[in-house]
Chains A and B, each alone.
Chain A
């Protein structure tokens, strides 16, 4: 009944889409060069409706409820895997995606964990989760030999206490923070361990530094870091690099650096997929193919400072991007990156409960 109602509403809301040729794209905030959107409209004559989100949880709820009205969405690998199992996506029609030959086998190999053979998705961007630091403020608080590239900077209470005054932000995303805490603790089960013992160990690390954390938020740190309002953020590589660039543009004396933690960093993949009930799957395929064009993909990476899974795009990347080991890591760093798998429903409940406890003390 509800399903019929939802479909009916979707049909009413987007029924006209098929006539006017619209494509609805739902992507992460600050995640594309907006000129590409106009370029797509000019090349195809399809009207592009672009909408943004800043949490995988929000996207997943829309996908599971169905009838979202979106044609292209961009979940992270672990979330994608679970949504594929729930039947949220349609298989891609490779005959409509000739640009797929431009993709990079190294990244495809790694994303096979989440979506074997890329049956449902293509890689958009990938990156690491790590530490953004305001060099001036951090050395002022901790001295010249501050462990700026190490997890000890934020997870060692002695350091965190000294940094509390200038401000520490962390991602409001337990799936990112728990593996990092486990890596810092040197947990023998590895960062992807989801047992109760592992969660307890991570909780201990996080609770010890909780009093020194100013805020848990997944997008505010870009501006806060760039303006010099905070001195350290644990966040996504490209976001911190955007903060670095905004600070440099503003010429406000703030110098931001990004480091993938030396103890090991989480590597994640954002994948473009087409919902099973997309109103215009044909246009969605056109959009994916457009994005996989080497020059377009390079334009997006040059703008957002994230690496992409498109081999052919690399010759169009500016030196700032392709030559920066924080974006395209060298072999040695690549060895040091780990990936994680999704949480099951029961594990997820323990995880959320732990996260509430860390944040609110209850």
Chain B
């Protein structure tokens, strides 16, 4: 009985915070837009009883999903978001891995302080941190003034309102999500394995490549997912740092929801985004499991 309760808690959590909201979104995505409050049709009509429920389901259809295929804006936005998310995940890994490695190799009594430093930025609001990047990257901003004053450039660089600024913003914001799981994996690494590798004739570099990298893979994969998934749907960073031509699905969703007031199409966009994310993750997990079984 106690075991059952322990297992039930995470499932209830998933049910309440993921599945129920998702079912509501799916329901809206199958509805039609209407000038009402809330702005879609049909609504549950409890008073009509069984007949009402049947009428309700009869009104639902896949029209909005078909609509998404009729305009190339949507798949272009999905593709462009996936591209931006992939590149930023890679860049985050490039920056995050050495930091995590350094932390794991640091003397033990330093580690809590280093960990603290990684988490510290979270104490300031995310919005304010992204806003301050506007001050750093603008034409007359900190970065340009610095580069101009040391004579590295003669004309201020245009960084703000471009895709480069979006990458900087995403890498900066999600860096801790990469560092923490990679650090956790590296910290558990048994140092004697590296010694054994070197005893057996490995150079330090190949020991790193043959021992450290494979053993930190779980952390790297977790970190990449933690960065990629929120980055693909990111709205705040591209709208503050990106230009008008930065095309991302988060912005398209915003337009559908706020400008068109078309909640059903906005929900359809969200459902498709979720499917795009879930399918590769499930396939990847399957693959991992198979590999683990094959090894065992």
Chain A interface residues (CB < 8 Å from chain B): 1-3, 55, 57-58, 60-61, 63-66, 82, 85-88, 174, 213, 215-216, 276, 345, 348-349, 352-353, 355-356, 359-362
B28-66 vs A: 1/0 string, CB under 8 Å?
A: 000001011111000010000000000000000000000
Which residues of the other chain, B, contact A213 by a CB distance below 8 angstroms? 244
Which residues of the other chain, A, contact B24 by a CB distance below 8 angstroms? 2
* Residue of A65, A174, A345 with most chain B CB atoms under a 10 A cut-off: A345
Contact A345 B261 (CB under 8 A): yes
Contact B261 A64 (CB under 8 A): yes
Size band of the interface chain B makes with A: 20 to 34
A171 to chain B, nearest CB (A): 12
**Stretch from B174-182, B223-231, B251-259 contacting the other chain:** B251-259
Contact B259 A57 (CB under 8 A): yes
Contact B44 A352 (CB under 8 A): no
Which residues of the other chain, B, contact A64 by a CB distance below 8 angstroms? 36-39, 261
Contact B244 A215 (CB under 8 A): yes
* Residue of A60, A63, A65, A352 with most chain B CB atoms under a 10 A cut-off: A352
> Among residues 175 to 222 in chain B, which have CB atoms less than 8 Å away from a CB atom of chain A?
none
Contact B258 A345 (CB under 8 A): no
Which residues of the other chain, B, contact A362 by a CB distance below 8 angstroms? 72-73, 76-77, 247
Given A86-B37, A345-B262, A360-B247, answer yes or no on A215-B257 (Cβ-Cβ < 8 Å). Answer: no
Given A82-B35, A353-B73, A359-B245, answer yes or no on A61-B255 (Cβ-Cβ < 8 Å). Answer: no
Chain B interface residues (CB < 8 Å from chain A): 24, 33, 35-39, 44, 71-73, 76-77, 161, 244-247, 252, 255-262
Contact B37 A348 (CB under 8 A): no
Cα–Cα, bound, A58→B161 (Å): 22
Closest to B263 in A: A64
Contact B39 A86 (CB under 8 A): yes
A67 to chain B, nearest CB (A): 10
Contact B257 A352 (CB under 8 A): no
Instruction: Name the one of B37, B71, B244, B257 contacting A359, with C-beta atoms under 8 angstroms.
Output: B244
19 intermolecular pairs with C-beta atoms under 8 Å apart: A1-B44, A2-B24, A60-B261, A61-B257, A61-B261, A64-B39, A65-B37, A82-B35, A85-B35, A87-B36, A88-B37, A213-B244, A345-B33, A352-B260, A353-B73, A356-B252, A362-B72, A362-B76, A362-B77
